[in-house]
């Protein structure tokens, strides 16, 4: 985040610049000032990274404020905003310490980029301004005529007459040629005698050194072991090839081990030699192969060969020691992991046992059985519901055919089943018929008619009273007529239909009662199933924890056993390709190479002496003009 301070005496300009810069997340306008004095106070208080300041302000102008800001707060970087594009204004700003100069009509995107570049330390001059600034400086004689920083000495003055170096007299210090040649020849003879004398002394006095060589191979084989415990866990052990990595060559590790003081000291002790007497082996890695070449020197062939065998044995012993150390560390780590896995397994088993003891659920089979029971009850209810719908449909159809409701049909069947009601109904029908005959013969107020009316009224009262007693509700003649209960109108077929309606109504009520009982049982079992399902989830989680702990524990045990068989994982066994040789010829000194070197040295000495005894003059220099010297001096 770049902290910016805006300084301008016009509020509109300040607000516009603030709105432009605040659009980007990496630019933060921490304050604004309307004068140079206020800008100095805010710079001290806010510590901005970049200050955008107007050049012309009342009181302290932008150039003066810039100079004081740059002197007091060198970390703050100043950009001058001006309406003038004259080079003298740019020069004054740069001399005051500003690192940027922009015109006020600069596009917003360029102002943002200028702030970012100035924050990074790059100078920013508005487009076209740099050309004007550079155009004010002309590379001509006027530049040379500017006041010099120091007085021009005689050396700096232009040379009017060039000097020809070939006309200079020879120096008196040049050696005399005959004497110089004699001195060179004598020196050459003495140096040659010294070289050959040292050569013969070296060949005569140098004791021969013998070198034994042998080669080993670091195989690129790899192996893999896998142990699968059905239903519990699986463990694998992979022994990768040491050359699988493209980062390093494993032979470099063996090369380093062969040169360690521990290995060399052990090899020297085997031969009862001091570390200095034993020396150090030379190891060479053969590219594009698995081979390593070893060589070591001795005073005689037998000692060199013994040193080779001792070094190889010491290296093998060190590798064996490192393998044991690695296996021990692996075993310790695996034993620690095994102990941790065992504790986790015991804790998981303990939690499972405690939950089974406290809860009602001991096995997932309980939930399965309960779920099957719920499904069976739901199936029975579905069957009962289908049968209820069938009975209801049949009942509605019969009621529609008889034009009577199921309740009226039941009432009719009940009344028809009562012999006393049927007797009252027969008496009422007979008296009604007799009354009709009397009314046809006599007047309505005649005694026979009035007596029969009284008899009809008594029979009607007995009939209705008996119906109320049987049905448990008030019965009217209109109801009896709608049920068609008169003996002369009731047929056996209609009575059978009434009986069927009553039977269907009984079946309907029975099926509804069964459905209510099934709904209640299903609701109870579902509530219990939901409770047991939550318990089953916890139980399965505990079982899963136990299985995981068992798998980790079993896998750790298996890895512990496999690690004991994988002893060559990090340090594969070296295979000796060629045994240490018994040298027949000394490795040094080599007379031919010594004599050849001495001969070359003697030859070079003679050639050098001849070249010194006949020196040649340097080439004649070209003339240098006065104009070129003047330009060089300026």
Compute φ and ψ for 562, nearest 5 degrees.
-70, -30
**Spatial separation of the C-alpha atoms in residues 295 and 457, rounded to whole Å:** 149
Q: What is the pLDDT of residue 622?
A: 38
Output the pTM of the full model.
Answer: 0.38
Using only C-alpha atoms, the chain has a radius of gyration, in whole angstroms, of: 62
Tokens, residue 239: 């022994």
pLDDT computed for residue 567 by the predictor: 63
Amino acid 174: pLDDT: 44
Provide the total of helices (H) and of strands (E) in the chain, helices listed first.
Answer: 20, 12
Residues 6 or more apart whose CB falls under 8 angstroms from that of 402 comprise: 409, 494, 497, 498, 501
pLDDT at 35 (0 to 100): 92
Q: What is the pLDDT of residues 255-268, one digit of tens each?
A: 898 999 999 999 99
- Distance, in Å, from the CA atom of 249 to the CA atom of 242, rounded to the nearest integer, reads 8
Give, as one character, the DSSP assignment of residue 222. -
What residues of the chain score a pLDDT lower than 50?
A: 136-176, 486-491, 615-634
CA atoms within 13 A on the CB side of 362: 2
pLDDT number for residue 180: 65
Domain 2-137 -> CATH class: alpha beta
Domain boundaries along the sequence of the chain = 2-137, 376-536
DSSP secondary structure letter of residue 75: T
- CA–CA distance, 23 with 25 (Å, rounded to integer): 7
Is the Cβ–Cβ distance between 506 and 409 less than 8 Å? no
């Amino acid at each position: 985040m770049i902290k910016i301070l805006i300084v301008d005496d016009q509020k509109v300009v300040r607000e516009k610049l603030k709105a432009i810069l605040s659009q980007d997340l990496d630019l933060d306008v921490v304050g604004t000032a309307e004068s140079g004095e206020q800008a100095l106070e805010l710079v001290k208080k806010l510590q901005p990274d970049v200050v955008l300041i107007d050049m012309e302000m009342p009181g302290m102008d932008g150039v003066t404020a810039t100079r004081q800001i740059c002197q007091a707060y060198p970390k703050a970087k100043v950009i001058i905003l001006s309406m003038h594009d004259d080079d003298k204004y740019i020069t004054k700003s740069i001399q005051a310490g500003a690192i940027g100069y922009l015109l006020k009509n600069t596009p917003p995107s360029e102002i943002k980029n200028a702030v970012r570049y100035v924050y990074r330390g790059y100078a920013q001059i508005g487009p076209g301004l740099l050309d004007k600034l550079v155009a004010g400086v002309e590379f001509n004689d006027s530049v040379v005529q500017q006041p010099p920083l120091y007085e021009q000495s005689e050396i700096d003055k232009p040379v009017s007459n060039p000097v020809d170096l070939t006309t200079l007299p020879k120096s008196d210090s040049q050696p005399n040629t005959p004497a110089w040649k004699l001195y060179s020849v004598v020196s050459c003879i003495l140096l040659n005698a010294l070289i050959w004398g040292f050569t013969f002394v070296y060949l005569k006095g140098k004791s021969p050194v013998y070198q034994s060589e042998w080669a080993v191979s670091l195989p690129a084989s790899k192996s893999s072991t896998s142990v699968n415990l059905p239903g519990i866990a699986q463990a694998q052990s992979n022994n990768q090839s040491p050359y699988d990595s493209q980062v390093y060559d494993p032979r470099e590790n063996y090369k380093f081990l062969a040169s360690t003081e521990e290995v060399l000291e052990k090899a020297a002790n085997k031969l009862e030699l001091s570390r200095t007497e034993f020396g150090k082996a030379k190891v060479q890695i053969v590219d594009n192969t698995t081979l390593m070449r070893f060589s070591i020197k001795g005073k005689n062939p037998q000692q060199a060969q013994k040193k080779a065998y001792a070094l190889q044995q010491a290296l093998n012993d060190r590798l064996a020691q490192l393998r044991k150390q690695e296996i021990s560390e692996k075993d310790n780590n695996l034993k620690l992991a095994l102990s941790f896995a065992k504790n986790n397994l015991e804790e998981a088993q303990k939690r499972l046992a405690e939950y089974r003891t406290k809860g009602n659920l001991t096995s997932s089979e309980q939930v399965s059985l309960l779920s099957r029971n719920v499904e069976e009850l739901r199936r029975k209810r579905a069957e009962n519901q289908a049968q209820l719908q069938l009975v209801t449909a049949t009942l509605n159809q019969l009621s529609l055919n008889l034009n009577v409701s199921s309740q009226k049909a039941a009432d009719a069947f009940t009344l028809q089943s009562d012999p006393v009601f049927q007797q009252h109904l027969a008496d009422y029908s007979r008296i009604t018929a007799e009354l009709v005959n009397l009314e046809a013969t006599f007047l309505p107020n005649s005694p026979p008619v009035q007596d029969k009316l009284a008899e009809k009224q008594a029979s009607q009262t007995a009939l209705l009273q008996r119906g109320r007693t049987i049905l448990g509700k008030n019965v009217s003649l209109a109801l009896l007529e709608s049920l068609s209960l008169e003996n002369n109108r009731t047929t056996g077929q209609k009575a059978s239909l009434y009986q069927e309606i009553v039977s269907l109504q009984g079946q309907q009520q029975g099926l509804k009662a069964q459905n209510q009982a099934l709904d209640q049982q299903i609701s109870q079992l579902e509530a219990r199933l939901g409770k047991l399902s939550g318990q089953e989830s916890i139980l399965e989680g505990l079982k899963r924890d136990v299985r995981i702990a068992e798998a980790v524990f079993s896998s750790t045990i298996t890895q512990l056993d496999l690690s004991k068989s994988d002893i060559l994982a990090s340090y594969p066994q070296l295979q000796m390709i060629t045994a240490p040789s018994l040298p027949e010829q000394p490795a040094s000194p080599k007379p031919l190479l010594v004599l050849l070197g001495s001969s070359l040295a003697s030859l070079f000495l003679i050639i050098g002496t001849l070249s010194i005894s006949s020196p040649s003059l340097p080439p004649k220099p070209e003339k240098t003009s006065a104009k070129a010297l003047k330009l060089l001096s300026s």
